[in-house]
Amino acid sequence: MAAPRANGSMEVQFVGDEDVAQHVEDKRPTLRSSSRTAKSSSAQRNAGVLHLTNQDQDSSEEEDGQEESIQHPTALVDQKGVAGSEVYSFKTPKRTGQMTRLAEDSLKNQTPKPTSGKTPVRRSARKPARKTKASSRASSSDESESDDSGESDSSAEEEPAKPRKQQASTTSTKKRRGGGQDNVLPEMVEEYFHAHGGARPGPTSDRTLSRLNIPRMDQARLQSALQHAPAAHIQHLQQLYQEHRCHFHKWMLQLSNGFNLLLYGLGSKRVLIDQFRSTILRDTVQMVVNGYFPSITVKHILNSITEEVLEHTGSFRSVQDQLTFIKDTFEETGEELFLFIHNIDGPMLRGEKVQAVLCQLAQVGGVRIIATIDHINAPLIWDQNKSSRFNWLWYDVTSYEPYVEETSYENSLMVQQSGVLALSSLVHVLRSLTPNARGVFHLLALYQLEHKDDSSYIGMSFHDLYQRCREKFLVHSHLTLRAQLTEFKDHKLIRTKKGSDGVENLLIPLDGAMLAEYMENPMT
C-alpha cells in the first residue's frame, strides 16, 4: 500500500515541447468555458506562466501535479468584509484629471441638501466644478486661473477622445476579469513593472500650490482654522464610541488572564484609552508612552519604569541589565503596571531592537500592555516570535477621531514650518562663539539678505567672504576663516556648495524672513 501512497502525492511526467504547446493551445479555450475544475484552473495558470517565460515546461508540469496535494486554509479567510485581493490589488495608473472627474461624478450623484434652499439644483447638471469655483473665488485673477486650468483640462480631454474611449473599454474589461480569477497575476505583474519601471512617474499636471490665494499655514493657524470645521455624524460617532466602551470589562478580564491588548482601526484612540484609564484603572499604576513622539527611545521607556515606577536610583550598564532588573523587581514585589503605548508602530519604535525589548517587557509578570497601531503595514514590525511574546488580542476600535495629537509632530506636507526651533538653536550656538566668529556669520547673513530677491543666488564665494572679513579685521588668514566655517558647518548653520566654476559657495539654509528677524535682534 505504500507504493500508491507515494505516488499519490505527486506525479511528474516528462513531455516534449510540442506537447506542451499543444496542451497550452488546448486549454486556452477553457478559459472562457464555464467548466471550472481544479485541474483546468491550474492549467490556466500554467498557460499564463508559459506565456511569460515560453519555456520551463518541466517546472510548470510539476506545478500541475502538485496542485492537487496542496491544501488551502479554509478558516483563515474571513468571508465577510474586505477581501485581501481587493486590499492588495493593482490598478493601472490613470490619466490626469481623473481625480476631478471622480469629484464631478460624485457631485452629480449627491442628493441636494434641503438646507441649501435656493441654490440652483441644476448646478449639479454638467459643469459643477467651474461654477463652484467661480462662486467661491472673489479675486478675478484667480478666476481666470481656474478657468484656464479647466480649459487646459477640457482640451486635453477632447484631443485624444478616441484613444481614450478604447482605453476605458480595455480597463473596464480588465476590471471585470479581475473579479477573482487566478490568471490575472502575470498581467498584474506586468502592470506593476510598467508603472514602476519607467523613468517618468506617470502623468500629473504641473500646477503647484503657489496658485492658491491663501499662503501656507503654520501649525497654529491650522489648528485655529480647524476649530471652525463643522462636526459631522456626531450621533453615529458617539454610538461607535459607546460600543467600544462596552468592551472595557472584557478588556480587564483578558488583561488579567495574561493577554495584552492591541487596538487598531481608523481614528485616534487617545480618547478611548484615556477613558479606559480614568474609569476602570483609576487606582492602578499606569504609564503612558507616546510612541508617535519624534525623539522617544526605548531607553526613555525603560528609565521611566525603573526611575518613576520602581523608584530605583542608579544606572544600568545595558538595556538587557535594565530589563533583567525590571523583571526581577516585578516578580519580587508582585506589583502591576499598566503600560499604555500609543502608536507602538511609531517611527522611533519601529526598529527591530526596540520591539525586541518591548516584547520582553510584555513577558514580565506584572506588566500589561495596551498598545495601538495606525500604520497600514504596522503588523510587519513583529515576527512570529515577537508577536507570540506580546500575546496580543486585537481589537478593532475604529473611531474616526482626527489624529490631532499624533500628526502634530509630523512634518506635514503643506504646513509651513514656523522655524521657531531653528532660530532659537541658531541664537544658542552663536552665543557660545567668539565675537569675531559672530561677525563672520553676520557678514554672510547680510550678504545673503542683500541678494534675497535674486532667485539664482547660490551663496557667497569663499574668496569674497575672506576679503570682507579681512577688511573688518575679523580674520587674518585663510586658515582661521576655514576653522570658523568648520564650526558653523558642524552646527549646520551654513552649507557649502560647489558652483559651476568650481568655486566654493557658502549659504545659510534659512529663508529671508527668518534671517531678517535674526539680523534685527541678533542676540535674543
Partner 1 sequence: MSTSGSVSKACFVFKPKAGKRKKKLNPADYFVDESGARTEATRARCETYQILWEDMNKDIEALQTDIHKKVFDDLVGYVGSTHPGFCLGEETQHKVSSNEIPTAALVTGVNMPDHGMIFSNLTSLLQDNITPYVARLQAKDCSAMKNIMSKVIMQFMGNKELLDDDDDEVQVKRISPTMPVLCGWYADSVKRSQSPNKSPSKKRKTSYGQYPPLVIVMEDLEGFPAQVLQDFIIICSQYLSRLPLVLVFGIATTVTAVHTLLPHSVSSLLCMEKFQAQPSTEYLSQVINKTLLSTKYPFKLGHRVFQLLLDIFLYHDFSVVNFIRGLQFAMLEHFFNDLGMLCCGVKLRTSRIRAMDHRELEAIRKTSSFRRYVELQKPQEQRDLLLNDKLTKDVFISLLKDLDSYHTMCYPILHCLHALTCGLPRHPLGKQLRELYSLVLESNVWETQGYKDAFNLLRLMARDDLVSVLGQCVEKLEGWTESDVSDVIMEVQTYMAQLDSLGDGSQEEQEEPEERPKERLSKTTKLHDLQNRLRESAKQKKKLTKYEVLRNKILDYLDEIFRTHLPSPTTLPLHEVYYYDRVSTLRRHMNAAPRAAIQTALSNPYYYLQDETLKSEDGTIPNTAPDVCIAYKLHLECGRLINLYDWLQAFVMLVHSGEENDGAGTSKQNKVDEVLQARFIRAVSELQFLGFIKPTKRKTDHVARLTWGGC
Q: Which of residues 454-473 bind partner 1 (CB under 8 A)?
A: none
When the beta carbons of 163 and 201 are compared against partner 1, the nearer one is 201
Quote the CA–CA distance of 61 and 42 in Å, as a whole number. Answer: 10
Taking a C-beta distance cutoff of 8 angstroms, is the pair 343, 374 a contact? yes
- Binding to partner 1, residues 4-63 (CB under 8 A): 4-5, 8
Q: Binding mask 172-191 vs partner 1 (x if CB under 8 A, - otherwise)?
A: --------------------
Residue 242 interacting with partner 1 (CB under 8 A): no
**Burial track 422-447 (b if 16+ CB lie within 10 A, e otherwise):** beeebeebbeebeebbbbbbbbbbeb
When the beta carbons of 388 and 432 are compared against partner 1, the nearer one is 388
When the beta carbons of 55 and 278 are compared against partner 1, the nearer one is 278
Reduced to 3 states (helix: H, G, I; strand: E, B; else coil), residue 495 is strand
Quote the CA–CA distance of 50 and 23 in Å, as a whole number. Answer: 11
C-alpha cell at 181: 480569477
Taking a C-beta distance cutoff of 8 angstroms, is the pair 108, 101 a contact? no
Q: Considering the complex, what minimum distance in angstroms separates the CB of residue 215 from partner 1?
A: 10
Q: Which stretch binds partner 1 (CB under 8 A): 407-415, 430-438, 480-488, 495-503?
A: 407-415
Contact residue for partner 1 among 266, 483, 513, 516 (CB under 8 A): 266
Residue 226 interacting with partner 1 (CB under 8 A): yes
Residue 236 interacting with partner 1 (CB under 8 A): yes
- Binding to partner 1, residues 126-165 (CB under 8 A): 128-129, 132-133, 135-136, 138, 146
Residue 113 interacting with partner 1 (CB under 8 A): yes
Q: Which stretch binds partner 1 (CB under 8 A): 230-238, 447-455, 459-467, 516-524?
A: 230-238
Q: In the beta sheet, which residues pair with residue 263?
A: 372, 395
- Binding to partner 1, residues 285-304 (CB under 8 A): 285-291, 293, 295-296, 300-301, 303-304
When the beta carbons of 5 and 176 are compared against partner 1, the nearer one is 5
When the beta carbons of 58 and 331 are compared against partner 1, the nearer one is 331
- Binding to partner 1, residues 346-405 (CB under 8 A): 356, 368, 373-379, 383-385, 388-389, 391, 393-396, 398, 400, 402-403, 405
Distance (Å) of CA 441 to CA 393, 426, 433, 481, 493: 57, 11, 10, 11, 9
- The values of phi and psi at residue 190, to 5°, are -60, -45
Quote the CA–CA distance of 390 and 496 in Å, as a whole number. Answer: 48
For residue 418, which of 494, 514, 509 has the smallest C-alpha distance?
Answer: 514
Reduced to 3 states (helix: H, G, I; strand: E, B; else coil), residue 371 is strand
- Binding to partner 1, residues 53-112 (CB under 8 A): 73-76, 78, 80-82, 84, 86-91, 93-94, 96-110
Q: What angle do CA 285, 378, 339 make, to 5 degrees?
A: 5
- Binding to partner 1, residues 309-338 (CB under 8 A): 309, 320, 334, 336
Place of cell 512617474: 201
Residue 118 interacting with partner 1 (CB under 8 A): yes
When the beta carbons of 240 and 494 are compared against partner 1, the nearer one is 240
When the beta carbons of 206 and 471 are compared against partner 1, the nearer one is 206
Quote the CA–CA distance of 109 and 124 in Å, as a whole number. Answer: 8
